[in-house]
Structure 1
Amino acid sequence: MTDSRRWMWLIGVFLLGWLIYLLSPVLSPFLVAMLLAYMGDPLVDRLERHKLSRTWGVVLVFSLFSLLLLVLLLVLIPMLGRQLVRLYELAPQMLDWLQHQALPWTQAQLGLQEGFWRFDQIKEALSGHLGKTTDIVGAVLAQATASSLALLGWLGNLLLIPVVAFYLLRDWDLMVAKLRGLLPRSRESRVVQLVGECHEVLGAFMRGQLLVMLALAFIYASGLMLVGLELGLLIGVLAGLASIVPYMGFVVGFGSAVVAALFQYGGFEAYPLIGVLVVFGIGQLLEGTVLTPMLVGDRIGLHPVAVIFAILAGGQLFGFVGVLLALPMAAIIMVLLRHAHDFYKLSELYGESSGDSQEPPSPA
């Protein structure tokens, strides 16, 4: 490839990235629909192998997704909403417990001066807002009414996602075949190999890591509710979602559960603390020995620091959709960087000249 052609490719990639950045508000429903279609394609392919047409397979998969979404809306979200309201109501009491019990004990252990912790103003601010839920809802409704066009646009994008996902999922194999037919014949095998590796990594993340997160959320929430923790469902779900970053779910969930248990039982009660420790110990044991090896394996290989940076960078650039796309894009970039590393090791730039590689003569 000549230098001029390389520059043309670089300029084209830059312009494409700039165009995607400008169109990110419009592209959001299409990107989410593409993710849904990518996740549902293996299920439809499996139904096709059982002599079911592509269209009816897509209808069946969509019906399954709709049923799961309906269960989520009717069962889980109302329960989480009640626990969020309960957390909002308990916030002043938790601050009072921190101020008069937990922090004085910490202050005595660390030898801090008296009056080091001050939470009076925060407590008064939270207490002043209690009982004003109606006012908050009214303010949200007024803001939504004032920005009705934005609300209609958001609802339109939300309704557009299943429509686009249906057609993408129905024609997924056809689009992949057409894209492969457009590849240069001399580069087809190399590109197909790269796409295959990216597909393997993406499949491990999309269908593996997400299942691990859901399983951990179920284990943590069920265990904490059995222990008797009042906010067990909320803490368990948050811990499962935070498991997208290695060890982050355990740190966030275990710390929150310990604080909630100390507050709820008024001190260092052995049973709830041991119960919390057992729940998270079982969760980590199952994740390390069963869930991750069976559902994910070692195909992703992203460093925890890279995971955190990818999520923050995606959210900064593209908002919520950027958070959804951050780790899949990071996995693809990892595959490309791995091949770039191999090419660099085989290049003349990395190799040493024969004169440099000779050892200096030993002294006589």
Structure 2
Amino acid sequence: MKLFGNLIDHGKNFLSKISPADKQQLDEIKKLEKQIQSLQEEEKKEKKDMMITNRHFIKFWFVGMLMVFLGFILFKSLDVLYLILTAYIVSIAMEAVIDIFQRWKATRGISITIAYFLLAVFLLSGVVLIVPFVANQMTEIINLFLIKMNAFQLALQDKGLVEVLRSSGLLSHYVEKEIFHNFSDPALITNIQTKLQTSLVELSNMWSSYAQMIGNFAVNFVTGFATFLTKSLIVITLSVLFSIEKVSVMKFIASLGGERKYKYIYIKLEKIYKKLGIWLKSRLLLSLYMAIALYVSLWILELFGISIPNKVSVSLIFGLLDIIPYIGPIVGSIPVILAGLMGVGFWGGALLFGITFLINTIENNVMVPLLMNKTLGINTVVIFISMILGGMIMGLVGVLLAVPIAAIITLLFEKDFD
């Protein structure tokens, strides 16, 4: 014990002999050790953060690649999605026609069969009537123009420019006198005639190429018609299935909103079915009015000795194109006016322009308010936007479905419903 006590005393004496400078060095050593320890901890933390960052980086790119892959699959599936959407909208609109046959005591299966058979006939008749008729009229116009052009060229070669102008009867006496007075130089007249003949030859060649383009169009039409027929069959088949499973489809769509929104969405769907059904019936009646009104007008003209060729085809085309919102009546008037120009001449075309304008005016001011007043309650701007977007995405089908799509959007986002 005495030895242990002596050691403690010697230790105390040693520590008491340490100078303040030595103590300061010891404190600095401790500080350095703490700094080294903190640096080591920061290095460990940076390594850990780097591992987390790398993990996030890999996760980010993995999710990004997955989203790109899903987007690519979705993009490749857009045509299928368009067909499904089109089929469902068609099935909603066709419900009104199916309901008509069901009221006649037909079963739902028979009603669906008859309704979609009529739809298929309607689509095929539209394509078969419109495209060949327009191609035939354009061919006749080009041929007539080429005949007139060749006759004018022969007259220039045989009689010369001066005699052709004099015998045409198109110029008044004063204009004819002024022209011949100012162009009395034979060399100048010959130069003008040469340039005119050259221009006529170039114009004739251009119109001949247009005639060949119409032939190519006919070939392309056959190919396009096969594609159209295939897609139409798919849409009609899907629409039939949607009509058969109407209640199941409505329940499935309503269930996507969850239990709280189920009843709300289901009632919305019922309202969409009813509204679009009313719209389709009204639209078909308006198209029927347009076709009958034009045919009766052409029949009356024939009683007065003005015969327009292809009265039935022209009337059906006029009625079919009226289905296209806003621009349909304008586009439908073009074949009618062409028929008047080719069958009767300029005054026949002008007369049919007046008749189609009168029929359209009666439709917009009498028939539309009578049949479709407050049927859908859709803003015109919404319809135009639907037409533009539908046309860009789905082509002509998108334009035809512009009103149903606009109606669905409006009904889905309205706050109150009955």
TM-score range, shorter chain: 0.5 to 0.7
Matched, 1:219 2:293: yes
Aligned match of 1:86: 137
Aligned match of 1:288: 365
Looking at structure 1, the residues matched to 290 and 337 of structure 2 have their Cα atoms a distance apart, in angstroms, of 18
Residues 37 and 284 of structure 1: CA distance in aligned 2, closer, same or farther (over 3 Å): same
Looking at structure 1, the residues matched to 227 and 355 of structure 2 have their Cα atoms a distance apart, in angstroms, of 47
Cα deviations by residue, 1:256-277 (Å, 9 ceiling, x for unpaired): 75676467544457xx745652
Kept in 2, the 8 Å contact 1:310–1:330? The answer is: yes
Aligned match of 1:244: 324
Residue 126 of structure 1: which of 196, 207, 228 is its match?
207
Matched, 1:173 2:247: yes
Looking at structure 2, the residues matched to 259 and 66 of structure 1 have their Cα atoms a distance apart, in angstroms, of 28
Aligned match of 2:388: 312
Q: Residue 329 of structure 1: CA displacement?
A: 1.8
Kept in 2, the 8 Å contact 1:41–1:169? The answer is: yes
Looking at structure 1, the residues matched to 262 and 288 of structure 2 have their Cα atoms a distance apart, in angstroms, of 38
Q: Residue 44 of structure 1: CA displacement?
A: 3.7
Aligned match of 2:63: none
Residues 134 and 176 of structure 1: CA distance in aligned 2, closer, same or farther (over 3 Å): closer
Give SS of 2:395's match.
helix
Residues 212 and 152 of structure 1: CA distance in aligned 2, closer, same or farther (over 3 Å): closer
Kept in 1, the 8 Å contact 2:129–2:317? The answer is: no
Aligned match of 1:357: none
Letter in 1 for 2:411: V
Q: Residue 136 of structure 1: CA displacement?
A: 6.3
Looking at structure 2, the residues matched to 338 and 263 of structure 1 have their Cα atoms a distance apart, in angstroms, of 51
Letter in 1 for 2:366: T
Give SS of 1:191's match.
helix
Q: Residue 82 of structure 1: CA displacement?
A: 4.3
Aligned match of 2:94: 40
Aligned match of 1:362: none
**Equivalences, count:** 302
Aligned match of 1:229: 308
Kept in 2, the 8 Å contact 1:223–1:279? The answer is: no
Kept in 2, the 8 Å contact 1:209–1:244? The answer is: no
Give SS of 2:375's match.
coil
Q: Residue 79 of structure 1: CA displacement?
A: 7.7
Looking at structure 1, the residues matched to 408 and 344 of structure 2 have their Cα atoms a distance apart, in angstroms, of 47
Kept in 2, the 8 Å contact 1:28–1:321? The answer is: no
Looking at structure 1, the residues matched to 399 and 412 of structure 2 have their Cα atoms a distance apart, in angstroms, of 21
Looking at structure 1, the residues matched to 363 and 229 of structure 2 have their Cα atoms a distance apart, in angstroms, of 40
Q: Residue 184 of structure 1: CA displacement?
A: 3.9
Looking at structure 2, the residues matched to 245 and 311 of structure 1 have their Cα atoms a distance apart, in angstroms, of 8
Give SS of 1:130's match.
helix
Gaps of 5+ in 1: 1-15, 109-117, 145-149, 343-364
Letter in 2 for 1:125: M
Letter in 2 for 1:316: M
Higher helix proportion: 2
Gaps of 5+ in 2: 1-69, 153-164, 176-198, 302-306
TM-score (norm 2): 0.53
Residues 293 and 97 of structure 1: CA distance in aligned 2, closer, same or farther (over 3 Å): farther
Kept in 2, the 8 Å contact 1:34–1:168? The answer is: yes
Give SS of 1:187's match.
helix
Aligned match of 2:373: 297
Cα deviations by residue, 1:202-250 (Å, 9 ceiling, x for unpaired): 334333334423432443355346533347644872575256333x455
Letter in 1 for 2:281: R
Give the RMSD, CA atoms, in angstroms.
5.0
Letter in 1 for 2:77: L
Q: Residue 151 of structure 1: CA displacement?
A: 9.6
Looking at structure 2, the residues matched to 261 and 151 of structure 1 have their Cα atoms a distance apart, in angstroms, of 28
Residues 188 and 313 of structure 1: CA distance in aligned 2, closer, same or farther (over 3 Å): same
Looking at structure 2, the residues matched to 124 and 268 of structure 1 have their Cα atoms a distance apart, in angstroms, of 29
Kept in 2, the 8 Å contact 1:218–1:237? The answer is: no
Q: Residue 43 of structure 1: CA displacement?
A: 4.0
TM-score (norm 1): 0.60
Q: Residue 134 of structure 1: CA displacement?
A: 6.4
Looking at structure 2, the residues matched to 42 and 239 of structure 1 have their Cα atoms a distance apart, in angstroms, of 20
State the structure with more CA Rg.
2
Residues 97 and 134 of structure 1: CA distance in aligned 2, closer, same or farther (over 3 Å): closer
Q: Residue 21 of structure 1: CA displacement?
A: 5.3
* Percentage of matched positions with identical amino acids: 19
